[in-house]
Amino acid sequence: EVQLVQSKAEVKKPGDSLRISCKASGFSFNTYWIGWVRQMPGKGLEWMGIIYPGDSETRYSPSFQGQVAISADKSVTTAYLQWSTLKASDTAMYFCATSLGDYAGHSFHIWGRGTVLIVSS
């Protein structure tokens, strides 16, 4: 079964660092783009960036360039989203998604269930 399993909810303080994960299974992890989407409370979906695990090519949306780091570990078929210094404004739901087969290159039809991040002092 093709699936993306995301790490558990996190509660952090401003200034903390964090890495959340997205474990892929059921497909060739190396050969499809996988990406991260932010949804702030009551707001719309925002693409943060995508990574191609085969060669680690990463593309960031302009709003997120320099704010987060996206990476992938082929050995454990897992994608990561990392912050070095969290802010209260990072409080959001974070989804990972991938684009396979007929959908590759234009659509994302496999989604994780999301990781809730709360950043509060």
Neighbours of 22 (CB within 10 A): 25
Choose, by CB under 8 A, the member of 18, 108, 117, 119 that binds another protein: 108
DSSP secondary structure string for all residues of 70-89: EEEEGGGTEEEEEESS--GG
Nearest distance from C-beta of residue 49 to another protein, angstroms: 5
Query: Which tokens sit at 77?
Result: 């078929």
Which of 53/112 has CB closer to another protein? 112
Residue pair 29/53 in contact (Cβ under 8 Å)? The answer is yes
- For the bound state, the minimum distance from the C-beta of residue 86 to another protein, rounded and expressed in Å, comes to 22
Residue type, 16: D
Question: Interface with another protein includes 27 (CB under 8 A)?
Answer: no
Could you tell me how many residues of this chain bind another protein (CB under 8 A)? 26
Decide: is 82 part of the binding site for another protein (CB under 8 A).
Answer: no
Q: Both tokens of residue 26?
A: 């059921």
Among 97, 100, 117, 119, binds another protein (CB under 8 A): 97
Which of residues 60, 80, 83, 94 is near another protein by CB under 8 A?
A: 60
Q: State the nearest-atom distance from the C-beta of 76 to another protein, in Å.
A: 22
Name the residue among 54, 121, 53, 49 with its Cα closest to residue 89: 121
